[in-house]
């Protein structure tokens, strides 16, 4: 087996059960290390973990299991973890669409699997998982019995030296699907849309935010209108820059019997420069402005601009939810953003709830990057 020797300076990461070992943390790679082959991680001859090695990727080694191993048969480990992840989601009863597998947080580096009824949409984001595709597909067919499995290739595959090309892997996939979530209906376009068709990760937060504000909701960065539709307010305004998203909002309002609403196809930054109406619930759910730490300053400034202007539109005793879907901006940075924004607007905010991705997107404490969606729900007091 290929042997990857870690530098002494990086050894403490193993104690912390970190699962990504970077190129700069590796001393030598012995053996024929092809992208995605199985390797053992060592330090001065001591075995530390088994995992995927990819010399083409900055994240050169990804841990599958730490020593002492309970099982050394990788195919068996992968199959058992797929089964465990699927059974874990059996408890989620309030929807017909769930994330079944969430990569490292389910012990399966690079594998994302979402189920929309009988349709499976999946991604193989690491060379190691890509090599195991046939095994994964076979296991999903046996365990989930889907009508079809579609691979949505993420751009991140380029970092692993893999081609980016969507493919039907099994059976047939519906072009469109109606997500039924907590009694609400949403059209999801399964191929060629944002994410795998719907923001499954915001399920719980949509429910929480909908408990506050029922007169006038402003859904900023609305995508298909999840937050605004859940809120069922007397009046709702949805803002998104994408034409496709606005079309989905209109369809979803019709599906849910929502009539008193407006859609605005516009850049939120521009919209906020001229908006004068007032709201008792405002949602700010932007895309990842800061994909990494380098882009942090610009992203924080962007979030502040939006928050300051949204707070000006928020009624006294109204609620505002603000999200970040990049782990470069977490709870700490969001708290700082709302604190400085409220000072600028000269208002006080009470924190009602810390929000995070729903439970089918697990956050493992030893994998900080698995907490990628954070949010705050606040009240203007």
Ligand X SMILES: C[S@@+](CC[C@H](N)C(=O)[O-])C[C@H]1O[C@@H](n2cnc3c(N)ncnc32)[C@H](O)[C@@H]1O
- Which residues in this chain contact ligand X in the complex, by CB under 6 A? 194, 199, 202, 221-224, 226-227, 240-242, 245, 267-269, 285-287, 325
Please say which residue, 52 or 230, places its beta carbon nearer to ligand X. Answer: 230
CB of 234 to ligand X, least distance (A): 20
Is-contact 4 60, C-beta < 8 A?
yes
Query: What are the structure tokens assigned to 280, written together?
Result: 């008792």
Number of C-beta neighbours around residue 166 at 10 A: 12
What's the sign of the alpha-carbon dihedral 81, 83, 84, 88? positive
Number of residues that make up the chain: 381
CB of 186 to ligand X, least distance (A): 8
CB of 185 to ligand X, least distance (A): 14
Please say which residue, 130 or 201, places its beta carbon nearer to ligand X. Answer: 201
C-alpha–C-alpha distance, residues 170 and 134, integer Å: 10
Please say which residue, 199 or 261, places its beta carbon nearer to ligand X. Answer: 199
CB of 362 to ligand X, least distance (A): 19
CB of 306 to ligand X, least distance (A): 9
CB of 287 to ligand X, least distance (A): 5
Is-contact 127 158, C-beta < 8 A?
no
Please say which residue, 122 or 239, places its beta carbon nearer to ligand X. Answer: 239
C-alpha–C-alpha distance, residues 198 and 295, integer Å: 26
C-alpha–C-alpha distance, residues 27 and 7, integer Å: 5
Is-contact 62 104, C-beta < 8 A?
yes
Residue with tokens 């300076």: 9
CB of 112 to ligand X, least distance (A): 16
Is-contact 182 154, C-beta < 8 A?
no
Please say which residue, 221 or 279, places its beta carbon nearer to ligand X. Answer: 221
CB of 203 to ligand X, least distance (A): 9
**Cα Dmax for the chain:** 68
C-alpha–C-alpha distance, residues 375 and 323, integer Å: 4
Please say which residue, 2 or 359, places its beta carbon nearer to ligand X. Answer: 359
Please say which residue, 111 or 272, places its beta carbon nearer to ligand X. Answer: 272
Is-contact 78 132, C-beta < 8 A?
yes
CB of 348 to ligand X, least distance (A): 26
Residue with tokens 């493919």: 167
Is-contact 370 105, C-beta < 8 A?
yes
Please say which residue, 64 or 245, places its beta carbon nearer to ligand X. Answer: 245
C-alpha–C-alpha distance, residues 209 and 311, integer Å: 16
C-alpha–C-alpha distance, residues 365 and 105, integer Å: 9
CB of 136 to ligand X, least distance (A): 27
Please say which residue, 199 or 212, places its beta carbon nearer to ligand X. Answer: 199
Please say which residue, 242 or 353, places its beta carbon nearer to ligand X. Answer: 242
Give the residue from 98, 134, 100 showing the smallest Cα distance to 116: 98
Give the 3-state secondary structure of residue 155. Answer: helix
C-alpha–C-alpha distance, residues 380 and 163, integer Å: 48
């Amino acid at each position: 087996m290929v042997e990857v020797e870690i530098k002494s300076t990086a050894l403490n990461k193993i104690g912390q059960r970190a699962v990504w070992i970077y190129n700069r943390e590796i001393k030598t790679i012995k053996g024929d290390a092809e992208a995605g082959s199985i390797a053992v991680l060592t330090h001065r001859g001591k075995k530390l973990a088994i995992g995927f090695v990819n010399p083409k990727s900055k994240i050169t080694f990804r841990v599958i299991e730490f020593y002492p191993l309970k099982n050394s048969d990788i195919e068996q480990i992968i199959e058992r973890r797929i089964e465990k992840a699927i059974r874990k989601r059996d408890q989620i009863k309030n929807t017909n669409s769930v994330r079944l597998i969430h990569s490292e947080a389910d012990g399966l580096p690079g594998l994302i699997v979402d189920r929309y009824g009988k349709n499976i949409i999946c991604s193989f984001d690491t060379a190691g998982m890509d090599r195991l595709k046939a095994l994964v597909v076979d296991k999903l067919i046996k365990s989930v019995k889907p009508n079809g499995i579609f691979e949505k290739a993420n751009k991140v595959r380029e970092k692993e030296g893999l081609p980016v090309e969507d493919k039907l892997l099994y059976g047939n996939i519906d072009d469109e699907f109606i997500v039924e979530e907590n009694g609400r209906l949403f059209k999801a376009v399964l191929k060629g849309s944002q994410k795998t068709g719907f923001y499954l990760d915001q399920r719980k937060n949509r429910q929480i935010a909908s408990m506050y504000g029922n007169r006038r909701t402003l859904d900023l960065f609305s995508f298909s209108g999840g937050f605004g539709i859940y809120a069922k307010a007397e009046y709702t305004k949805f803002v998104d820059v994408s034409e496709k998203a606005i079309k989905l909002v209109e369809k979803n309002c019709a599906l849910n019997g929502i009539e008193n609403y407006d859609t605005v196809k516009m850049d939120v930054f521009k919209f906020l420069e001229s908006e004068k109406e007032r709201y008792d619930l405002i949602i700010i759910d932007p895309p990842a402005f800061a994909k990494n730490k380098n882009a942090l300053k610009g992203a924080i400034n962007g979030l502040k601009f939006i928050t300051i202007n949204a707070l000006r539109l928020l009624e006294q005793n109204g609620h505002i939810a603000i999200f970040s879907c990049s782990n470069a901006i977490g709870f700490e940075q969001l708290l700082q953003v709302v604190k400085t924004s409220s000072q600028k607007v000269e208002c006080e905010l009470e924190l009602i709830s810390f929000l995070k991705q729903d439970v089918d997107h697990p956050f493992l404490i030893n994998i900080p990057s698995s907490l990628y969606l954070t949010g705050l729900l606040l009240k203007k007091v």
